[in-house]
Amino acid sequence: MKKTYEIEVDCANCAGKMEAAAKKTAGVKDAVVNFMTQKMIVEFEDGQNNKEVMKKVLAACKKVESDCEIYL
């Protein structure tokens, strides 16, 4: 199950950090952050509640890059 989210992030390095943080979040199989299109594509593990997982992803991203936003 893959979903795309709009994000807002200012610098390319920060986008990389968000990607790493999202990948490490429990319930996320894989994540890609596209800085150019300001999008995050998250692949969830089977049987996960997307909304719950995304909340955790957002928290993890905020932790590494306080100035970022994910539009859930």
Partner 1 sequence: MIQDLIIDGLLVIIIFACLFLFKIGKRNETMTRKQKKNLQRIFVATVILLVVQTIGVRIFAFFGDNRWLRLVVYLVIYYIIGNDIVYKAYKGIRNGQVFDENFLMVVASLGALILAVAENGDYMEAIAVMLFYQVGEWFQSYAVNRSRKNITELMDIRPDHANIEADGQIKQVDPDEVMIGDIIIVRPGEKVPIDGIVIEGHSSLDTAALTGESLPKDVSIDDEIISGCINMTGVLKIKTTRLFGESTVSRILDLVENASNRKARSEDFIAKFARYYTPIVCIAALALAIVPPMISYAFGNDPEVYTWIYRALSFLVASCPCALVISIPLSFFAGIGGASREGILIKGSNFLETLSKTDVVVFDKTGTLTKGVFEVVAIHHNKKAREELLYYAAYAESASGHPISRSIREAYGKQIDTTKVRDIEEISGEGVVATVDGRIVLAGNDKLMKRFAIDYKDCHSIGTIVHIAIDNVYEGHIVIADIEKPNAGKAIAALKDAHITKTVMLTGDKEKVAAKVAHDLKIDEYYSELLPQDKVTKVEYLLAQNKKGKLAFVGDGINDAPVLSRADIGIAMGAMGSDAAIEAADIVLMDDDPLKIAKAIRISKKCLRIVYQNIIFSIFIKIMTLILVALGIANMWLAVFADVGVMILAVLNAIRCLFVNKL
Question: By the criterion CB under 8 A, which residues form the site for partner 1?
Answer: 10-14, 16-17, 32, 34-39, 41, 62-67
Closest approach, Cβ 63 to partner 1, in A, equals 5
Q: Which residue in 66, 49, 68, 53 sits closest to 23, CA to CA?
A: 53
Nearer to partner 1, 48 or 62 (CB): 62
Going by the DSSP 8-state scheme, the letter that residue 9 receives in this structure is -
Nearer to partner 1, 40 or 53 (CB): 40
Nearer to partner 1, 32 or 47 (CB): 32
Judge whether 48 and 18 are in contact, CB under 8 Å.
Answer: no
Rounded CA separation 9/15 (Å): 6
